[in-house]
Structure 1
Amino acid sequence: MIEVVDLHRWFGSVHAVRGVGFSIPAGQAVGLLGPNGAGKTTTLRMLTGIIRPQTGSIAIAGIDALARPVCARREFGYLPESAPSYPEMAVRSFLAHRARILGVSGKDRKARIQAVQDECHLGPVYKRRIGQLSKGYRQRVALAAALLHNPKVLILDEPTNGLDPTQIREARSLIGDLAQNRTVLVSSHILPEIERTCERVIIIGAGKVLADGTPEELCEQNTGGGCIVECRGHAAQITSALTAALPGSTIGSDPLEDGWWRLNIRTKDSADPSEPVGAALSNARIQIRQLRPQTAGLEEVFVRVLEDSIGGEE
């Protein structure tokens, strides 16, 4: 549904987007995750035709977005980070105005306005002026406007930015509902928002795609640097064996029942220490009942991927 190949964009001497590429099938909700300044908004602005890449290709719903931008725009709805609005207009008047601009035909216009009003839960404020609404409701109005032409693809840039915690929860729920029957690409620098609304994550940093996969896949790929072990023995003997085998490692211990211990072992590098830990404890004749790699959470994966990319450029 969205095909992006080798996008590059310079602003003067600044190489803001460096070979970004990804493919999103129909019906998938994907998060574009990265710190501020990573190139997320520039990438979305190229996808939506606001700016053109110097090199690369973009296809949306099978349409070449660079060669046929007007046709491509009919296939997606776009919610920019700072969505424009008309504070003096009533919500219903604004939606009717936007529907005319988007070319929604007269016979379908009333039905589409009612449909987006229902989808975005605008009933309580439908007759009010936009300038009187909370930011959460203004965001819903802008989202409804992006849905008027019933697009197959929805592109959202930092949709929860500036909202309070209650509004964020409501926006998250709304995005989840909209993703049930659309392809959704949402950018954010807030990891929990991506984790809770998207089934796949693309991590971008310094204008490049650094990682791409489901949260589970990314965590599995970045497992390493630690392990969990449950063993039985004297604490001093266990610590001595592990310290000798893994100098510089960090060992956290919690006592369990009947002389057993649960150890959380972290090493300085990303290598899985399970094998040397098992060998060290076995050689010291310490009984082991569980030994497994420590799985990284998505937050740890995000930080590690960004740190690795910085280290690779030095």
Structure 2
Amino acid sequence: MSVKLVQVSRYYGTQPAVQDINFDIHTGEVVGFLGPNGAGKTTTMRMITAYLKPSSGKIEVCGHDVVRAPLAVKRITGYLPEQNPLYPDLYVREYLRWMADIHHLGKRRKQRIDEVIALTGLGKESHKKIGMLSKGYRQRVGLAQALLHDPEVLILDEPTSGLDPNQIVDIRQLIRELGQRKTVILSTHILQEVEAMCNRVIIIHQGRIVADGQIEALKQQAAAHHMLEIEWAETLADGWWRNVPGIQQARALSPHQWQLVATDAEELKKNLFRYALQNNLNIISLQTRMRSLEEVFRQLTQTESIP
């Protein structure tokens, strides 16, 4: 087990940032850590990397307690924070040499710098000042420093921020490869990135874990309420769906298309056909749809339940 949190809470004064969170993450897992702004993601990541002490509870990284052995934890973790703390006046290689010395790489310094430059695609930019780089390449420098000491655990906060589509594909592939032999925890607001890179997702809301599991399992769990999409030949008044038994919620996608939520999809289909027949309406299409990760996320992280 690489990362273990037991009943972890963190307060800023009397304000709770995270409360009683528990999860285990193993080597070989790439875990998406999701939540709205202010949910406690960054606080949790900073505690795992031993940059912030928990107010209560216990965090272990590869068997090391983050409070009792913070230096040991920092030696085996690589951290890319959302606000990448780079030095614009340093050259890329100069910055990486400095970081390598902080990690006491010694004779391995040049080899590791060359390796992470190649891994992150910084070859053509490695002799430039960091301040002259695009945001995407600065992000790559941050990822390179997180990988420099070959950590067992990688904590990545918005790792694809600022990258163009081609760069995103490259970094996705790199993270998937790293996840085969390391523990990777990544936070991102781009839910498609989570589906592309992660085999598990943890969702935090208002400082508490509200979901933890495989992505497809979470979708199935959320699908206790079925989602259907219907297209009418006619334009219907906004409240038409209230006259159809079994519809819990409805949303107009266009003047003719509607998204419907029901607990019993098959029963609702019968009711819709009956409603169409009684009102001389024509249904062009009617289909049940699997929920996306974005819809699961919205359902779990909004105060009012929104399927």
Give the TM-score band, short-chain normalised.
Answer: 0.7 to 0.9
Cross-structure match for 1:132: 132
In the superposition, relative to structure 1, how do residues 126 and 278 fare at CA in structure 2: closer, same or farther (>3 Å)? closer
Q: Does residue 301 of structure 1 match 2:296? A: yes
Q: CA deviation at 1:248?
A: 6.0
Deviation above 6 Å: which 4+ runs of structure 1?
278-284
Cross-structure match for 2:181: 181
What secondary structure, in the 3-state scheme, does the structure 2 residue paired with 1:49 have? coil
Distance in 2 between residues matched to 1:135 and 1:265, nearest whole Å? 38
TM-score, scaled to structure 1: 0.79
Q: Using the aligned pairs only, state the percent identity.
A: 43
Q: CA deviation at 1:251?
A: 11
Cross-structure match for 1:49: 50
In the superposition, relative to structure 1, how do residues 127 and 250 fare at CA in structure 2: closer, same or farther (>3 Å)? closer
Cα root mean square deviation, aligned: 3.1
Q: CA deviation at 1:294?
A: 4.5
Cross-structure match for 1:68: 69
Q: CA deviation at 1:224?
A: 2.8
Distance in 2 between residues matched to 1:129 and 1:249, nearest whole Å? 54
Alignment of 1:109-148 (within 5 A): 109-148=109-148
Cross-structure match for 1:200: 200
After superposition, give the CA deviation of every residue in 1:240-271 in whole Å (9 maximum; x if it has no partner): xx96643666599xxxxxxxxxx98834xxx6
Cross-structure match for 1:224: 224
Alignment of 1:1-314 (within 5 A): 1-104=2-105, 106-163=106-163, 165=165, 167-226=167-226, 245-246=245-246, 266-267=260-261, 272-274=263-265, 276-277=267-268, 294-307=289-302, 310-311=303-304
Equivalent AA in structure 1 for residue 297 of structure 2: F
Distance in 1 between residues matched to 2:229 and 2:123, nearest whole Å? 55
Q: CA deviation at 1:99?
A: 0.3
Q: Which has the larger radius of gyration?
A: 1
Distance in 2 between residues matched to 1:134 and 1:249, nearest whole Å? 45
Q: CA deviation at 1:112?
A: 1.0
Q: CA deviation at 1:200?
A: 1.0
Distance in 2 between residues matched to 1:119 and 1:126, nearest whole Å? 12
In the superposition, relative to structure 1, how do residues 164 and 228 fare at CA in structure 2: closer, same or farther (>3 Å)? closer
Q: Which shows bigger deviation, 58-67 or 271-280? A: 271-280
Distance in 2 between residues matched to 1:5 and 1:132, nearest whole Å? 43
- Where does structure 2 lack aligned partners over 5 or more consecutive residues? 231-241, 278-285
What secondary structure, in the 3-state scheme, does the structure 2 residue paired with 1:74 have? helix
Aligned residue pairs total 281
Q: CA deviation at 1:172?
A: 3.4
What secondary structure, in the 3-state scheme, does the structure 1 residue paired with 2:115 have? helix
Is residue 272–residue 293 contact of structure 1 (8 Å, CA) maintained in 2?
no
Q: Which shows bigger deviation, 37-46 or 188-197? A: 188-197
Q: Which shows bigger deviation, 192-201 or 51-60? A: 192-201
Distance in 2 between residues matched to 1:304 and 1:9, nearest whole Å? 25
Is residue 139–residue 161 contact of structure 2 (8 Å, CA) maintained in 1?
no
In the superposition, relative to structure 1, how do residues 224 and 147 fare at CA in structure 2: closer, same or farther (>3 Å)? same
Is residue 117–residue 144 contact of structure 2 (8 Å, CA) maintained in 1?
yes
In the superposition, relative to structure 1, how do residues 141 and 227 fare at CA in structure 2: closer, same or farther (>3 Å)? closer
